[in-house]
Amino acid sequence: MSATRQVKFYQVGSHAAGNRLLGPELQSDQADPARSNALTSGHRACQGCGEALGARYVLDAAQRAAGGKVIAVNATGCLEVFSTPYPETSWQLPWLHSLFGNAPAVAAGVAAALRAKGRTDVRVVGQGGDGGSVDIGLGCLSGMFERNDDVL
């Protein structure tokens, strides 16, 4: 029988910065660089953070559907703060940070630029929070719907 590595699913303390400071033998499976994961180690989200899991699952699904050709646009908020501590990022795909209320407009602009370049193979995903989508960002969001922009 061959020796196998024990599967570990746990969150180490914040000093380990998402397992990056641990040796490979102590890293959990979440830190495996070969694992398909749009949001990987190094972020500073709380354990079990619903926003981190939701954003990751959405972008993982979008990447699988688009063959890995996805650009994410994210509004200012907790997701941006814990996933992109300067000068690093935990995102494993092209990811743009926009202002609080204009993620839909930036996503529509990125999609328009891709169309102008003849790139129909890349999908754009815009992520906004509650205030950035249905409060100050409603104008950008409704404009995106009115123009029938092809973004998610």
What is the tens place of the pLDDT at every residue in 22-76? 666 666 655 555 556 788 777 888 888 888 888 888 898 898 889 989 999 988 8
Are residues 22 and 88 located together in one domain of the fold? no
Task: Compare 2 and 83 and report the one with higher pLDDT.
Answer: 83
Do 6 and 43 share a domain, yes or no?
A: no
**Structural domains of the chain, count:** 2
Same domain as 96, residue 66? yes
* 15 contacts: CB under 8 Å, gap ≥ 6: 21
Q: Per the domain annotation, does 151 fall within a domain? A: no
Q: Tell me, yes or no, whether 115 and 60 share the same domain.
A: yes
Based on the domain organization, do 14 and 89 belong to the same domain?
Answer: no
CA-closest candidate to residue 38, choices 125, 101, 132, 152: 125
33: amino acid identity, one letter: P
Q: Does some domain include residue 52?
A: yes
Same domain, 91 and 115: yes
Q: Please report whether residue 4 resides in a domain.
A: yes
Q: Are 31 and 20 in contact (CB under 8 A)?
A: yes
pTM across the whole model: 0.71
In terms of domains, do 68 and 94 share one? yes
Residues facing residue 97 across a β-bridge: 74
Better-predicted residue by pLDDT, 50 or 3: 50
pLDDT at 20: 53
Q: From CA 17, how far away is CA 45, in angstroms rounded?
A: 10
Residues 65 and 90 both lie in one domain: yes
User: Does the residue 152 lie in any domain?
Assistant: no
Q: Does 57 share its domain with 124?
A: yes
Model pLDDT for residues 66-122, shown as the tens digit of each residue: 998 999 998 888 888 888 887 888 888 999 988 887 888 888 899 999 999 999 999
pLDDT band at 5 (very low <50, low <70, confident <90, very high): low
Domain span at residue 90? 38-146
Q: Do 2 and 53 belong together in one domain?
A: no
97 and 29 in a common domain: no
64 and 125 in a common domain: yes
